[in-house]
């Protein structure tokens, strides 16, 4: 390929057509002018590179703390000690978490799989004669059955049961993971993006 052909192949498409059409009519002098008018002159290499926008800064952090397990947008802590329900919730609160809520069957399956054979407190409780509520104050929708007549819920081998709050059991804490916290912060700054999954 000659130098002239290389030069033409790098020109914008519109310029090639105009140059070709001009060549057919025998006006080669105009074709060269059309090319030089339409094609931007790039003399400085900086002109060819678009300046990159800086990335938003986020704190450098692991998705979940050590000894916690990440799933979807939450981090979970499975205790090895035993405590009553109130003391278990206090432990979770001291780590910016709460006894876990369970929003989906998939989450329930994960918790049952990771907790092992021991019973674990979860963040569901009720006052005598009242409805079940999660530790964040949200009313429980009843999407799973809670066995027993106690005021605090726990996971046993295959389901959710209830017992008196003073019984010692292991517990499961949860809190939003790093990714979920970033999304929450981003949606505050950019409300139009809050629906992005």
pLDDT, tens digit, for every residue of 100-153?
A: 999 999 999 999 999 999 999 999 999 988 999 999 999 999 999 999 999 999
Predicted local confidence at residue 63, as pLDDT: 78
Residue ranges of the chain that CATH labels 3.10.100.10: 69-178
| 8 Å CB contact between 63 and 75 | yes
Residues 6+ apart with CB under 8 A from 42: 48
- For domain 69-178, the CATH architecture is Roll (3.10)
The pTM for the full model equals: 0.61
Mean pLDDT, range 88-106, rounded to an integer: 97
Q: How many CB atoms lie within 10 A of CB 172?
A: 24
Q: What are phi and psi of 88, to 5 degrees?
A: -65, -45
| 8 Å CB contact between 44 and 68 | no
């Amino acid at each position: 390929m000659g130098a002239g052909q290389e030069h033409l192949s790098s020109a914008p498409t519109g310029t090639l057509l105009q140059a070709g059409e001009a060549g057919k009519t025998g006006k080669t002098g105009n074709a060269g002018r059309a090319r030089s008018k339409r094609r931007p002159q790039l003399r400085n290499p900086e002109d060819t590179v678009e300046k990159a926008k800086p990335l938003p800064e986020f704190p450098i952090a692991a998705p979940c703390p050590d000894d916690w397990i990440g799933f979807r947008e939450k981090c979970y802590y499975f205790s090895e000690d035993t405590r009553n329900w109130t003391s278990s919730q206090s432990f979770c609160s001291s780590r910016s978490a709460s006894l876990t809520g369970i929003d989906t069957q998939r989450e329930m399956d994960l918790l049952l799989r990771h907790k092992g054979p021991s019973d674990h407190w979860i963040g569901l409780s009720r006052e005598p004669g009242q409805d079940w509520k999660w530790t964040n104050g949200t009313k429980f929708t009843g999407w799973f059955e809670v066995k027993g007549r106690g005021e605090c819920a726990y996971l046993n081998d295959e389901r959710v049961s209830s017992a008196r709050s003073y019984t010692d059991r292991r517990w499961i804490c949860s809190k939003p993971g790093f990714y979920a916290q970033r999304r929450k912060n981003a949606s505050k700054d950019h409300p139009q993006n809050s629906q992005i999954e």
